[in-house]
Structure 1
Amino acid sequence: MASYNVHAGHCPQGQGASGAVGMLKESVEDRLVKDEVIRLLRAAGHTVYDCTVNYATTKQGCLNGIVALCNQHAVNLDISIHLNSGRNDYKGDKSTGGTEVFNYDSRTKEISDRICQNISAALSIHNRGTKYDKSLQVLNRTKSLAILIECCFVDDKDDADRWNYKKCAQAIVEGILGRNVSDSTSSGESTSTEQTSGTSGTAKDGQAVWQAYASGKWQSYVNENGTGTEAYAGVLGQALRALRAYVKGTAKNVGYLEYRVHKLNGGWYNWQRDREMDKNGENFAGDCRNQFDGLQMRIVGAPGKHVKYRVHVIGKGWLDWVTDWGSGNNGYAGWYGYVIDAVQIKIV
């Protein structure tokens, strides 16, 4: 599991510290979003530190306080919640101001892109996209990777009419984690059903559950309870661009899945373990952009257990099953130079 710093920008009162005000008040709404983001991340099992400053101070005093709180913890990501201003559209012009995310550099681009896309879709507002700004203090003075989210515009009627802090918070968390979460969960369970394509089976402890990124989005989870080629993740004919997999159950009892993918005509990406976050804050293999032509898997922490997997390749069909990393054709499932569009997995 990962750890995060989350804070609402600005202070509730103080000299120039209270943030933007329009039809929405930034220092009020960003705290509602912040609280919900923290709740959802904690419900999903992650460690979260609230680094919000709630005492009256100056603008610089507020920033100093936030940075100091963030730098008390070494985390996967600092998340700064804000609302934007500058549209001055109090009547509504049928055009939304939209959402954007600021980054220090491209290391957080994938998370930033997902958050922008998710908020835009959830609130039906314009996606202003990922942006970079090394002058922002919550980006350049914090020790961990950081992003600053501008959820919408406080002075745009079209944005304000669509505003829903819970939807916004859920969109942010799903962008951070790269998967769906429940908007009402208290247990951290995903809204994804973990079912096989074409069946209604639910995964049992010790079985593999996996999910593919294809056609521009994460497809539904599938598990081993399907038959034939029904229990596969992917969209036949559409290249896979990322994969997430894990063993259902408590890790100390069922072990972990470790896996990596080979970039089409490139090299191997880093190993991933179950749904754990890596150093880049990702919990999947691949990058959601590039196609891949190879897959390696292994199961650890489960003596006597093995993982079998095979891939469907565009133009070639289903290839042979491979058992663990190091067996099969050169120790991987796939065919270099040919795009993978579906994956099947079994724990044996």
Structure 2
Amino acid sequence: MAQLLSIVPDAPAAQSARPQATASGNVNATYALHLLGGSWLDEVTNFGSGDNGFAGMPNYQHDLLYIKVDHGSVKYRVHTVQSGWLPWVAKGDRNDTVNGCAGNAGEVIDGVQIIFLTPAGESYQQAYYRSQTTQRAGWLGVVCDDGTSLPQYTDTYAGIFGEPLDRLQIGISSVSPF
């Protein structure tokens, strides 16, 4: 008995190799703060309300920060009371305190700058972020990337110099999620 095979032609190579336009979707930002003189706190993805909606610990000081995204890339840096602005970091790895985190062990963070780099060919997105300090109640103003891209966001960093940052929230989006 003869077996019949169905032959379906393959798509032309040029058509199957053509890059598809990628719609930028949700970008997840995962981040954590390190307690001054202590250990890393649990990491947070994006933000929310309640105790799991931010990185940090209320009324405590922090000395290291790491941020990673699941799409695109991010660069960030911190300002410390002792040393001012530290170099930009583009990697997020809490086990690498030289190149994977922003901050210096033992130096209190009082400011943060974050810039999201949207992949080429995708809809533009930015890092929106805000913080609280140990010396004030409530969230400070929202910052958009480095404060130069949109006229309604003029702050260039989250925090207040001289006031230890105790909480941080980050969202990557085309509009403010806050």
> TM-score normalized by structure 2?
0.69
Name the SS for the 2:111 alignment partner. Answer: strand
Change in 2 beyond 3 A, CA 1:209/1:332: same
CA offset digits 1:121-170 (Å, max 9, x no partner): xxxxxxxxxxxxxxxxxxxxxxxxxxxxxxxxxxxxxxxxxxxxxxxxxx
Please show how residues 1-348 of structure 1 align to structure 2 within 5 Å.
206-215=27-36, 216-224=38-46, 226-227=48-49, 230-248=52-70, 254-264=71-81, 266-275=83-92, 281-302=98-119, 303=122, 304-317=124-137, 318-327=139-148, 328-348=153-173
In 2, Cα distance between equivalents of 1:333 and 1:343: 8
Judging by fraction of residues, say which structure has more helix.
1
Closer, same or farther: CA 241–343 of 1 in aligned 2, 3 Å? same
Is the 8 Å Cα contact of residues 66 and 93 (structure 2) preserved in structure 1? no
Contact 1:237 1:314 in 2 (8 A): yes
Q: Would the aligned equivalents of 1:308 and 1:323 in 2 still touch at CA under 8 Å? A: yes
Shift of 1:323: 0.7
CA distance in 2, matches of 1:221, 1:276: 11
Report the Cα distance in structure 2 between the residues aligned to 1:313 and 1:224, rounded to whole angstroms.
Answer: 19
Structure 2 gap segments, 5+ residues each: 1-24, 174-178
Query: Offset at 1:288?
Result: 2.4
Higher relative strand content: 2
Conserved 8 A contact 2:30-2:46: yes
Shift of 1:271: 0.5
Residues 50-94 of structure 1 deviation map (CA, whole Å, 9 limit, x = unaligned) = xxxxxxxxxxxxxxxxxxxxxxxxxxxxxxxxxxxxxxxxxxxxx
8 A contact 1:234–1:240 mirrored in 2: yes
Higher relative CO (CA 8 A, sep ≥ 6), structure 1 or 2? 2
The one-letter code matched in structure 2 to 1:210 is: Y
The one-letter code of the counterpart of 1:273 is A
Once the 2 structures are TM-superposed, how far is the Cα of residue 226 of structure 1 from its aligned partner? 2.6
Deviation of 1:329 after TM superposition, in Å, equals 4.9
Q: CA deviation at 1:255?
A: 0.7
TM-score under structure 1 normalisation?
0.37
RMSD: 2.5
Distance 2:135 2:97 in 1: 33
Task: Give the 3-state SS of the residue equivalent to 2:84 in structure 1.
Answer: coil
Instruction: Give per-residue Cα distances to partners, 1:249-307, cap 9 Å, x unaligned.
Output: xxxxx211110000115321110113269x98431000121002111000114341111
Deviation at 1:335, TM superposition (A): 0.8
